[in-house]
Amino acid sequence: MEGLLENFWVLLVLKLAVVALLVPVAGLIIGYGELKISAHMQARVGPYFAGGRFGWAQLIADGIKFFQKEDIIPENADRPVFRWAPTLVMLSSVSLFVVIPFGPGDPFVVRDLELGIFYALAVSSIGTLGILMAGWSSSNKYSLIGGLRAAGQLIAYELPMVLSVVGVVVLAGTMSLSGIVEAQIAFGMPYIVPQVVAFVIFMICALAEMNRIPFDMPIAESELTTGFLTEYTGFRFLFFFLAEFANMFVFAAIATTLFLGGYAPAGSEVFGIAVPALAGPVFMVAKMALLVFVMIWVRWTWPRLREDQLQTFAWKWLVPISVANIVVTAAVKVVF
């Protein structure tokens, strides 16, 4: 068994299987959480019957329902683009899992890239490309507007997001996600303390990147029916649906790693007691659950911004603030 786990290929296949399973499972759990939490925020009960108790099987039932639906591709749609768009969206969230460390050391991270955070930010934008494809190929005007809104949003929000991460990278001195967690353990506190501004900006940008309220203009069901999703049915729709929840999971994971100390204190000593490395995923998921809850909370509290207000907000407020944050962080780093 030991020998088998040390085999590179066996381990790789195992890790990939875990990642491939993690995305739908995390999506289901977060989706269920969203249904239940939103229900309680709105004086409702939420799913109740599916699965016998607490409606735990509601999303599984929904998923099965989606597979039963007819797969409709509009007559005038750009078929290959239309087909590939949901895959691309899903691909970007799955690829992100590759670099996220769920614990110290090898078995908890698929690939600890030297440029981990750079990779994560780059890959996360691919999802928007899928949305743009979906909007463009659907041959529907609502979809088109939705897709273009998503593209405009990407440009507005990618910059402050990257800039907000720079502060963390400056503090940690590395771009590897595991390295950033280790740096936080060495630093003695999570980076949310010195980088609270960057944390807030990162979370705002993450919401915008995920197209969630208050930044869900590409979907905007009251204006554009459902924006780029309008023409999608069946399992292609399910892909978008799952990708949204998987994206919440992934962005919560990145934010946890960057700002909340990731899997810490697993693999280090707290008051002289060594915390086992195996506890890493537990700490990680607990912190992520907190962030996911905040995202759900925001989603069910706020109305939607307008596209131009979002652009103003991003360019006039977030970009300057995050640049100022970098300057201050760098200055403090040099002085001390």
Partner 1 sequence: MLDQHAIRQLSEVSVSVEIETPEMTLNIGPQHPSTHGVLRLVAKVDGERITDVDPKLGYMHRGYEKLSEVRTYPQIMALVNRIDWTSGYANEVPFVVAAERLLGVEPPERAKWIRLILTEMARVSAHLLFMGSFPLELGATTPLMFSLRDRERVLDVMESLTGGRFHPNFNRIGGVKPAAGAGKEMKKQVQDLPAGFLAETRDAMVKVRSTCDELEQLIMGNEIFLARTKGIGILPPDVAVSYGVTGPNLRASGVPFDLRTMTDYLPYDQVDFEVPIGEQGDSFDRWWVRLQEIRQATRIVDQAVDKIPAGPLLAKVPKIIKVPKGETYVRAENPKGIMGYYLVSEGGQGPYRLKIRSASFSNLSMLPWILEGVLIPDLLAVMGSLDFVLGDVDR
Residues that bind partner 1 (CB under 8 A): 38, 41-44, 74, 76, 139-142, 144-145, 213-214, 216-217, 220-225, 300-309
Alpha carbon 320 to chain centroid, angstroms = 24
Distance in angstroms (rounded) separating the CA atoms of residues 11 and 88: 26
The closest alpha carbon to 186, from 255, 261, 117, belongs to: 261
* CB 141 to partner 1: min, Å: 5
Residues 6+ apart with CB under 8 A from 80: none
Structure tokens at 29: 């759990």
The closest alpha carbon to 232, from 81, 46, 107, belongs to: 81
Q: Is 272 exposed, middle or buried (0-12, 13-18, 19+ CB in 10 A)?
A: exposed
- Interior angle at CA 197, CA 195 and CA 199, nearest 5: 70
Q: Of the two residues 2 and 308, which places its CB atom closer to partner 1 in the complex?
A: 308
Q: Of the two residues 224 and 254, which places its CB atom closer to partner 1 in the complex?
A: 224
Distance in angstroms (rounded) separating the CA atoms of residues 177 and 109: 10
Q: Of the two residues 70 and 308, which places its CB atom closer to partner 1 in the complex?
A: 308
* CB 177 to partner 1: min, Å: 33
* CB 303 to partner 1: min, Å: 4
Q: Of the two residues 175 and 217, which places its CB atom closer to partner 1 in the complex?
A: 217
* CB 185 to partner 1: min, Å: 38
Give the HSE-up count for residue 152: Cα atoms under 13 Å, Cβ half-sphere: 18
β pairing state of 269-270 and 273-274: antiparallel
Q: Of the two residues 19 and 200, which places its CB atom closer to partner 1 in the complex?
A: 200
* CB 306 to partner 1: min, Å: 5
Q: Of the two residues 136 and 283, which places its CB atom closer to partner 1 in the complex?
A: 136
The closest alpha carbon to 88, from 204, 234, 236, 215, belongs to: 236
* CB 51 to partner 1: min, Å: 24
Alpha carbon 21 to chain centroid, angstroms = 16
Q: Of the two residues 68 and 222, which places its CB atom closer to partner 1 in the complex?
A: 222
* CB 318 to partner 1: min, Å: 15
* CB 42 to partner 1: min, Å: 4
- Lookup result for tokens 């979002």: 310
Q: Of the two residues 220 and 260, which places its CB atom closer to partner 1 in the complex?
A: 220
Q: What is the CA radius of gyration of the chain?
A: 20
3-class SS of residue 273: strand
Structure tokens at 140: 């529907």
* CB 39 to partner 1: min, Å: 9
Residues 6+ apart with CB under 8 A from 62: none
Give the HSE-up count for residue 89: Cα atoms under 13 Å, Cβ half-sphere: 32
Q: Of the two residues 19 and 305, which places its CB atom closer to partner 1 in the complex?
A: 305
